[in-house]
Amino acid sequence: MFDAPTLGIIPSTRAARVHLFRHGEVETGPLRICRGQADVPLSPRGREQSQAVAGRFLDHHGPPDRVLSSDLSRCTYLAAQFGLETELVPGLREQDMGRWEGRTWDDLTQADGPAVTAYWNNYVHGRPTGGETWGEAAARVVATWQSLLPLEGRVVIVSHVGPIRALLCHWLGLDAGEALRFAPAYATETRVIEADAGVVIEAMGLE
C-alpha cells in the first residue's frame, strides 16, 4: 500500500481498506415514511441493487476479509452477497425514531405537530417522541466505529444513510449538525483507509 519513501517516515504501516455501503432501495410506496429502526424490507429494485453492487466489488477486489452489518434486514441482505459470514453490529442501526416509526410524515405532522416542528427546528437535539436525538444517534455510531478499531485487511461495512453521515462528519472533523450535507444514495459505497494516524477518505457515493 505504501511506497519506499513513505515507509521510511510513517510511524506505522498498519492500514485497512474499509468499504462502507448504504443498503438498497426499500419498500415505501408513494408516501414519505418515517422508517428509523423499523425493519422494512428491500424493494425488488433494492435486491437487484444489492446483488449488482456486491458483484462489482467481488469482480474488482475478490472476497473481503470481514463483513460487518447493521442487524436490520435491509442491510443484512446486501451483506450476505459478499459470501462471508456476516458480523452483526446493532450499533450501526439507523436513528431510533421511537413512536414515529412506520408512520407517514403527513400523519405525524397532524398527530404530533409540535414535536415534529421542534425536531426539524433543532435537528441535532430535537427528539422524536420515544426515540433518540440525532446527536445521540451520531454519538452511538461513532462509539461503535471506535469499538471496532483497529481493523485489518479489506473490510465491508453495510449500514444506513444516518450512520454513514455520522461517520463522515466524524472523519472530517465536522459537527454532527453538518450531517445533512451528505446524501449517499441507495446501494452506494464510501471507501476509506483506516490507519493508526486516522482515516483517509478515498471516495464517496460510488455506484
- Compute the distance between CA of residue 165 and CA of residue 37 in angstroms, rounded to an integer: 16
Question: Residue 32: its pLDDT value, please?
Answer: 85
The structural domains of the chain, with segments of one domain joined by +, span: 14-206
Low-confidence ranges of the chain (pLDDT < 70): 1-2, 5-12, 29-30
Tell me if the pTM is above 0.85.
yes
23-70: per-residue pLDDT in tens?
999 987 667 899 999 999 999 999 999 999 999 999 999 999 999 999
Cell of residue 181, nine digits? 450535507
- The predicted pLDDT at position 10 comes to 59
- 39: CB partners within 8 A, 6+ apart: 72, 73, 74
C-alpha–C-alpha distance, residues 62 and 67, integer Å: 13
Number of H helices, E strands in the chain: 7, 8
The CATH H-level superfamily of 14-206 is Phosphoglycerate mutase-like (3.40.50.1240)
What local confidence, expressed as pLDDT, does residue 12 receive?
67
Please list, in sequence order, all residues whose beta carbon lies within 8 angstroms of the beta carbon of residue 127, skipping any fewer than 6 positions away.
Answer: 98, 115, 119, 133
Give the pLDDT score at 2.
64
